[in-house]
Structure 1
Amino acid sequence: MVENTKQVYVVDDDEIFHFILKKMFEQQGAKLKVTSFLSAEDALEHLQHSNNHLLPSLIILDMNMQRMNGWDFIEAYRDIKCSLTQQIPIVMCSSSIDNRDIQKVKRTPELKAYITKPLDSVKMQQIKEYLG
């Protein structure tokens, strides 16, 4: 991986979403390494066993997944974040437009934004802003 290339974890059980997101990053000329996780459990395990220098610059997290959903991921992330050398911004990405979900995101300090699917160039620009 090139030194200035940022890494993004995409945690979503929809393989098509991973494909679209990677293509949209490419179209915007983003120099990123996108690592896909189809389950929240796999992403958490990867974070726990990463050698802190390989941590992502951003996590894009789906709210509704099988077994462990986005909220469960946040709870588990809270247990491991103190062992990480950096805090990782998390953007929740979901098709839900339920105001209760949006309010819950605002009350969750680990979440920097709530972006609804489907993605477009404006929403991609918002996501890129959290890469630092």
Structure 2
Amino acid sequence: MKKLNSVLLIDDDAATNFISKMLIKKAGITDHIETVLNGKQALEYLTNTGDYERLDSIYPKPMLILLDINMPIMDGWEFAEAYSKLNENQKEGTVVVMLSSSLNPDDKERASSLPAISSFQNKPLTTERLTSIIDTFFSEQKE
């Protein structure tokens, strides 16, 4: 499989980010994993504003975003709304997967109604879930 240029983790829980990073590294799907703690930081990263000014050659645009729902400052729903308003070139080729520990079926239904959200998965991220995401959205990347 051709590697993804970058994965962006948006979650305020350090343990969750650690586990997700380890699974992504073990799967070998990318060489660059960026972690932010809320939707506001994620938008700053994606739009080169705020604390996350970057050069695309150093921090490429993520092809996969793993998004938590419940976070301070800007939660997953607020991020999805703001993300949907970004320029197409800032979103093109990016898959947003909402990861949640919520068992509320309304959350899954709400996520499926948002064009910015490609998929809704339950936490924690597992090797099986990650493989399913890659197979579903990036199978054309395989050589």
TM-score by length of 2: 0.80
Q: CA deviation at 1:84?
A: 2.0
Partner residue in 2 for 1:82: 88
8 Å contact kept, 2:84–2:115: no
Q: Which residue identity is paired with 1:55?
A: K
Question: Is residue 104 from structure 1 mapped to residue 110 from structure 2 by the alignment?
Answer: yes
Give the Cα–Cα distance (whole angstroms) in 1 for the partners of residues 68 and 79 of structure 2: 10
Give the Cα–Cα distance (whole angstroms) in 2 for the partners of residues 85 and 98 of structure 1: 28
CA RMSD, 1 decimal: 2.2
Aligned residues: 130
Partner residue in 1 for 2:73: 67
Q: Return closer, same or farther for 1:51/1:84 CA change in 2, 3 Å cut-off.
A: farther
Q: Runs ≥4 in structure 1, deviation > 6 angstroms?
A: none
More strand by percentage: 1
What are structure 2's unaligned runs of at least 5 residues?
Answer: 49-53
8 Å contact kept, 2:69–2:77: yes
TM-score by length of 1: 0.86
What are structure 1's unaligned runs of at least 5 residues?
Answer: none
Partner residue in 2 for 1:121: 127
Partner residue in 1 for 2:44: 45
Q: CA deviation at 1:46?
A: 1.2
